Amino acid sequence: MSAPTVRAARGTTLTARSWATEAPLRMLHNNLDPEVAERPADLVVYGGTGRATRDWASFDAISRELTALGEDETLLVQSGRPVGVLRTHPWAPRVLIANANLVPDWANWPEFRRLEAAGLTMYGQMTAGSWIYIGTQGILQGTYETFAAVAAKRFGGSLAGTLTVTAGLGGMGGAQPLAITMNEGVALVVECDPQRARRRLETRYLDEIASDVHDAVRRVTAAKAQRRPLSVAVIGNAAEVLPELLRRGVEVDVVTDQTSAHDPLAYLPIGVGVHEWRDYAASKPEEFTDRARESMAAHVSAMVGFLDAGAEVFDYGNSIRGEAKLGGCDRAFDFPGFVPAYIRPLFCEGRGPFRWAALSGDPADIAATDRAVLKLFPGNEPLARWIRMAGERVAFQGLPARICWLGYGERDRAGLAFNEMVASGELSAPVVIGRDHLDCGSVASPYRETEAMADGSDAIADWPLLNALVNTASGATWVSIHHGGGVGMGRSIHAGQVTVADGTPLAARKIERVLTNDPAMGVLRHADAGYPRAAEVAAERGLRIPMKER
């Protein structure tokens, strides 16, 4: 039987009994919209094998339950499968989700795959299994911010006249070329799967596909010399192309990577064709893993070579350093992860990837919220630049959505404004407000968000669990706790929340609490770790911390 094509309902006619259940229903369906998901037939949304539900029977059952769920009931989802409906109360989340969690000593890929093959679990990535993935735009803004921080740190505030080399044009990695050209730079992106590259071209995230490495180098070198923004993809294996670029002496200014290195079965080893990839990985996972790690070691050795040549090099949160080290690259950790390098100061202010989606399906609703954000934060020029560029250049995938990074004391204001716009009829239907799990106070991930914490607390995983409990206690519409995410088994624990703005006074009270307390967790976590800026933010904005001095 072939898999169904799924698309979220649009407009104001409810399929479920209230917007609080219609919202997760539409967002689950939206995650699997062919415009949104990377491999919808396999229920894979993004990030290697990040799934929306465990199987199609679970998808049907979750859809059915959400359609029938009352306002004092809560659906429990265990790794993509609905396992119970419990009597709760109107302030409680309508859905509680736990994905891919394993007891720490068992938290490795072979054991996870054994359980997955037995039909007992699924990989939820971050927003795949928690139903708030909004397509490549979701990561575009974070990627834009990161490259803007690189530009500020090394190149006087703009990437004009610089060349960035990276790999991976998947769900997340596909944001790289546009984020780089938005910062006025030139990008050369290596991708082994031509279909992925074509998809980015069609959605305007990528400008051109070169015929081979020679052609790609010619195009990007010319653009760099002319200080003309341009993104070029070349089809090939990054573990071969990066060493070749290094050998050729191409002058590269910035190097990173977004292949799915966190999962060795989702990284193509040298000598393996794209068409034989899935079968080979499934039939001989151990042999495939060894070969993938060996290739990652060659790939990362070339990145270290560019570092030695003076380039700005960073791990973009896919665990490639850890995997390359296992593959024999001793210098893999010579370059930093992007969070300690660029993002942590933002986390100290409770800043993170605030996102919302219009359940109406009408792009005019997002345009109206864009205008509202510009009005709410008039002094924030980078935010205004992003909102304007996103409005012009981002093609929506699935339900129209927007993302921007907002901090503690800002997210609640935006959320309340949106709720009022729903109440007044300025928006044609409710919106959902959520975020990535990659946020200031919702993740423990020593290779990424919590790498090199000031007090050495990188692996402390109490914070994301507290975050999920806080959001549950504050009135979020659905809350999730995941393991693995973007960095793989055993390497992270993280939590998500999504809250519906349906224009009611009750929604306003919930939004005010959730969107205050959720980013507050980031400020608390960083103040606790000893970051002075976080302590300052807490003091300035009235966040109570019982033991300020440790």
CA 29 from centroid of its chain's CA atoms: 18
Q: Which residues contact 138 (CB under 8 A, 6 or more apart)?
A: 127, 353, 355, 401, 403, 436
Site string for ligand NAD, 107-146 (x = CB under 6 A): --------------------------------x--x----
Q: Could you say which of 24, 129, 185, 317 contacts ligand NAD (CB under 6 A)?
A: 317
**Does the annotation place 447 within a ligand binding site?**
no
**Under rule CB under 6 A, residue 442 binds ligand NAD:** no
Tokens representing residue 523 in the block: 């400020």
Give start and end residues of each alpha helix (H) in 163-308. 176-182, 194-202, 213-225, 238-248, 277-283, 285-308
**Under rule CB under 6 A, residue 399 binds ligand NAD:** no
CA proximity to 189, closest of 241, 260, 267, 266: 241
Tokens representing residue 269 in the block: 């080893």
Tokens representing residue 326 in the block: 């296992």
Q: Could you say which of 24, 135, 173, 475 contacts ligand NAD (CB under 6 A)?
A: 173
Cβ 498 to ligand NAD, closest distance in Å? 17
**Under rule CB under 6 A, residue 6 binds ligand NAD:** no
**Under rule CB under 6 A, residue 258 binds ligand NAD:** yes
Q: Any idea which residue has 């039939």 for tokens?
A: 283
- Cβ–Cβ under 8 Å, residues 132 and 222: no
CA proximity to 71, closest of 431, 507, 422, 466: 507
Site string for ligand NAD, 460-499 (x = CB under 6 A): --------------------------x-------------
Cβ 19 to ligand NAD, closest distance in Å? 29
- Cα–Cα separations (whole angstroms), residue 400 to 178, 383, 405: 19, 19, 18
CB atoms within 10 A of CB 540: 11
**Does the annotation place 267 within a ligand binding site?**
yes
How many residues sit close enough to ligand NAD to count as binding (CB under 6 A)? Answer: 34
- Cβ–Cβ under 8 Å, residues 447 and 325: no
Tokens representing residue 321 in the block: 């350093």
Nearer to ligand NAD, 238 or 524 (CB): 238
Q: Could you say which of 38, 116, 349, 410 contacts ligand NAD (CB under 6 A)?
A: 38
Candidates 44-52, 377-385, 397-405, 460-468; binding stretch for ligand NAD (CB under 6 A): 44-52
Q: What value does the CA radius of gyration of the chain take, rounded to a whole number of Å?
A: 22
**Under rule CB under 6 A, residue 380 binds ligand NAD:** no
Q: Could you say which of 40, 135, 171, 400 contacts ligand NAD (CB under 6 A)?
A: 171
Q: Which residues contact 260 (CB under 8 A, 6 or more apart)?
A: 47, 48, 168, 170, 266, 267, 318
Residues marked as catalytic: 404
Name the binding residues: 47-48, 125, 171-173, 191, 196, 237-238, 258-262, 267-268, 316, 486
List of residues contacting ligand NAD (CB under 6 A): 38, 46-48, 139, 142, 167-173, 190-193, 196, 237-239, 258-262, 266-268, 316-318, 438, 486
Name the binding residues for NAD(+): 47-48, 125, 171-173, 191, 196, 237-238, 258-262, 267-268, 316, 486
